[in-house]
């Protein structure tokens, strides 16, 4: 039974909304509750109360562990400590060589430095 203002005995109109615009389950016409979250717990920006989207990433693109969708942290390193180019924070790849092919002591994979000397200090025959 409806009262004079069009609300039933529970306070809902013919469309199922109360005077505040919420249905019997506490959601408005757009599907959001009083706090702005839908039935699954996400707001209009598709973020939950913790600030993560439906895939588990925040607005900056990182999950709860600080890892992005490609597996890198906020500094650009993966869980093994290498960046997208395969170098660690010291600039060396998994084999210990930098982008120019030299190790931390300045020698290439054959044991020569850029000045043409080997680890024993002997000059290259070339």
The tens-digit pLDDT sequence of the chain (126 residues) is: 666 778 888 899 989 999 999 999 999 989 999 999 999 999 999 999 999 999 999 999 999 999 999 999 999 999 999 999 999 999 999 999 999 999 999 999 999 999 999 999 999 876
Is the distance from CB of 16 to CB of 23 less than 8 angstroms?
A: yes
- Which residues form the domain of 107? 70-126
Question: At which residue do the structure tokens 């930098």 appear?
Answer: 98
Number of domains present in the structure of the chain: 1
Instruction: Tell whether 30 is covered by a domain.
Output: no
Instruction: Tell whether 27 is covered by a domain.
Output: no
Instruction: Tell whether 104 is covered by a domain.
Output: yes
Indicate the pTM of the whole model.
Answer: 0.60
Instruction: Tell whether 120 is covered by a domain.
Output: yes
């Amino acid at each position: 039974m409806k009262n004079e203002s069009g609300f039933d005995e529970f306070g809902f109109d013919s469309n199922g909304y109360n005077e505040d615009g919420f249905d019997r389950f506490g959601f408005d016409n757009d599907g959001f509750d009083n706090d702005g979250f839908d039935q699954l717990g996400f707001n209009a920006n598709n973020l939950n109360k913790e600030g993560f989207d439906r895939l588990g990433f925040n607005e900056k693109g990182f999950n709860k562990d600080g890892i992005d969708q490609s597996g890198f942290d906020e500094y650009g390193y993966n869980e093994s400590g290498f960046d997208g180019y395969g170098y660690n924070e010291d600039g060396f790849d998994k084999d210990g060589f930098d982008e120019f092919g030299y190790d931390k002591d300045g020698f290439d994979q054959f044991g020569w430095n850029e000045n043409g000397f080997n680890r024993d200090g002997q000059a290259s025959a070339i």
